[in-house]
Amino acid sequence: MKLFVVPTPVGNLEDMTFRAIRVLKEADLILAEDTRTSGFLMKHYDIKTPMQSHHKFNEHKTVSAVVERILRGQQVALISDAGTPAISDPGFLVVRACLENGIDVECLPGATAFVPALVASGLPNDRFCFEGFLPQKKGRQTKINELANESRTMIFYESPFRLVKTLTQLSEVLGMDRKASVSREISKLFEETKRGSLSELIHYFTEKSPKGEIVLIVAGTED
C-alpha cells in the first residue's frame, strides 16, 4: 500500500532511471499530468500500465479517489510532464492526502530542472532558495521586493514569454549589474545557458527571443 512519486526526464529520454522504469511497469495505475505527453515516454520504454490524468485543474477532485484505490491495495505511481512531481507541478495534494491516511509515500530520486541549471550557472550553490514561478499578477512586485536583501542564490522557473519582463523587474530591484544565468531546454538538443549581468541578459534575450522551458538563476546580495 504505497504511492510512488517518480521523476521523469526534463528533456532527454535517456535520463530515465532503471528503477523508475521498473516502478512504472509494476504499478497498477500511473497518475500523469498529461497522458498524451507521458504517452511518448511510456511507448519509448514499453510501459503498458494504465494512465489517468492528474493535473492542476482536476487535482482537488481526484485525490480522494486515488487514496481509496491505494487503500484497496493498488500500487499507484505519480508522474508529471517532466521532472519531479510536486516541484512547481501537481502532486503535493495527493502526497499530503496519502500521508494523512496512513499510506506510505516513496519518492524516487531523479531529474529536476533547477539542479543542473544551478550547477551550470557558476554562481554560489552552497546556499540557495527555490522560488519557482513568480506570481503572474497579484503579489508579483511584492514578492520581488521581498527578495531585495536575499543573500542566497535565487532560483526561478519562467515562461519564455515573460523572461525579459522578469529580468527587467528584477533588475529594477536588485540592480542592473546583478549576476545571473538563464538555462533553457535542459538536456535537449538545443540546450543553452547564458550567463552575465541582468542588463546583459535583458539585451541578449530582447535581441534573441527565448524558446523552451527556462530556469533563471540570480546571485544573492553580497552585503
The verdict on 149 and 100 lying in the same domain is no
Q: Where would I find the H helices in the chain?
A: 18-26, 35-44, 59-71, 92-100, 114-121, 140-146, 163-174, 198-207
Number of domains in the chain: 2
- 223 lies in some domain: no
Q: How many Cα atoms within 13 Å fall on the side-chain side of residue 133? A: 15
User: What residue numbers bound the domain in which 24 lies?
Assistant: 2-107
pTM of the model: 0.91
Q: What is residue 1's predicted lDDT score, i.e. its pLDDT?
A: 82
Q: Which residues of the chain have pLDDT under 50?
A: none
82 and 129 fall within a common domain:
no
* Final residue belonging to a domain, choices 62, 78, 107: 107
Q: What pLDDT sits at residue 191?
A: 95
Amino acid identity at 22: R
| pLDDT at residue 137, rounded to an integer | 86
- Spatial CB neighbours of 189, under 8 Å, sequence gap ≥ 6: none
For residue 41, the model assigns a pLDDT of: 97
Q: For residue 145, which of 161, 129, 134, 130 has the smallest C-alpha distance?
A: 134
What does the DSSP 8-state code read for residue 46?
Answer: T
Instruction: Give the pLDDT confidence score for residue 58 in this predicted structure.
Output: 85
Q: Is residue 10 part of a domain?
A: yes
pLDDT given for residue 223 in this prediction: 65
Task: Report the distance separating Cα 53 and Cα 55, nearest Å.
Answer: 6
CATH value at residue 45: 3.40.1010.10
